[in-house]
Amino acid sequence: MPTTVLMEELDAFTYREMIGRGAPVIVPVGATEQHGPHLPLQTDVLLAKAMSTRLAEAVDGVVAAPVVYGYKSQQRSGGGNHLAGTTSLDATTIIAIARTLTLEFARHGARQVVFLNGHFENYQFLYEGVELATTELKQRGEDVSAILLSYWDFVDDETIEEIYRGAFPGWDVEHGGVLETSLMLHLHPELVRLERVMDLPAAQLPRYDRLPVRPELTPISGCLSSAAAASESAGRLLLDRTSAALAAAIGAELRTASDLIPAHATPRFTTP
C-alpha cells in the first residue's frame, strides 16, 4: 500500500493501479499571491493541497500535483493584481489548464476528477475549462464526471461563531485574515511570522470594481482584514470541521457517480 496520496510522490505504476481501482483525482488549485507581511505567497496552494490531502485520504483518492498560479487577484477579494509578489494567469490560461488537466486524467483512466479551489478568483474559469472537457468527453462516449468546489464553502456558521465570536468580517475580506492565518499556523507554523501581522481595520471597499484600481483602497498590509486574532487551535478546528464536511458531501457525491458507471466499464490500464 502506498503511504502517500500525493501524485508527485507516487511512482507511475502505483498511480496507474490506484486510478485503475477507480480512485478519484483531486486537483488542488491555488495562486501565487501576496498575503501580507506574515504569510507566504503560496498560502492558497498550501491550503488547497492540505484540504485535498484530507479529502483524498477519506475517499481513497489521489491528489494531483497542484496548480500553483491562479487568476488575477481582485482588489475586493485579494487586494488587487497591482501588488508585488502576486503573479497571475489570464482567464484563457486558467480555462485551458482546467480543460487540459481534466482530459489528461481522463486519458489515464480516471472517471472522477475533483477541482478543489483555494483562490476565490479562479472559480468561474475552472468551471469553464471543466465544462468544455466534460462536454468533449461525453461526445466521445467517455463517462467522466467532475466536481468543483471552494473549500471555504464547507465552513459552517457554528464554526465561524466559535472562532470569531460575532466579529466575522465576511468572506470577501478574509484575504490574509484570521481564517488563512489560523490554518497556516496549524499546518505550516514555520512559514508564518505572526509578529509581523499588521492589526489594521478591515478594508472598506466599494460595491463595484474600477480599473485600473485605486491602490490606496487596499490596506497597506495587503490583507483585507486583520489576522491578529488567529490561532493554531482555530486552525485545527477549521481544518477538522471543513475536511469532515468535505469528506461527507464529496464522498457521497463520488459514490453516487460511481454507481452510475456501468459494471462492465473497465479501467483503461491494467498493471502488468
Q: Which residues bind Zn ion (CB under 5 A)?
A: 43-44
Decide: is 119 part of the binding site for Mn ion (CB under 5 A). Answer: yes
- Span near Mn ion by CB under 5 A; candidates 45-53, 114-122, 191-199, 234-242: 114-122
Annotated active-site residue 158? The verdict is no
Is 180 a catalytic site residue? yes
Which is catalytic among the residues 38, 44, 174, 186?
A: 44
Least CB distance from residue 77 to Mn ion, whole Å?
Answer: 7
Q: Is 242 left (phi over 0), alpha (psi -120 to 50) or beta?
A: alpha
Q: With respect to Zn ion, which residue has the nearer C-beta, 15 or 120?
A: 120
Rounded to whole angstroms, the Cα distance separating 269 from 90 reads: 35
44 is catalytic: yes
SS3 label, residue 71:
strand
Q: How far apart are CA 160 and CA 142, in angstroms?
A: 41
- Integer Cα distance of 73 and 34 in angstroms: 9
Which residue out of 38, 60, 82, 121 is catalytically annotated? 121
N- to C-terminal Cα separation, the chain: 17
Is 119 part of the annotated catalytic residue set?
A: yes
**How many residues does the structure list for the chain?**
272
Q: Tell me the chain's radius of gyration from C-alpha atoms.
A: 19
Could you say which DSSP state residue 41 is in? Answer: T
Q: Please give the helix or strand (H or E) that residue 91 lies within, else none.
A: helix 91-108
- What residues between 54 and 113 interact with Mn ion by CB under 5 A? 78
35/186 with CB nearer Mn ion:
35
Phi-psi region of 141 (alpha: psi -120 to 50; beta: other; left: phi over 0): left
Q: Is 111 or 119 the residue whose CB approaches Zn ion more closely? A: 119
**Catalytic pick from 33, 38, 174, 186?**
33
For Mn ion, which residue of 16, 28, 39, 44 counts as binding (CB under 5 A)? 44
Catalytic residue, candidates 38, 119, 174, 186 = 119
User: Between 44 and 178, whose beta carbon lies closer to Zn ion?
Assistant: 44
Residues near Mn ion, by CB under 5 A: 31, 33, 44, 78, 119
Catalytic residues: 33, 35, 44, 119, 121, 175, 180
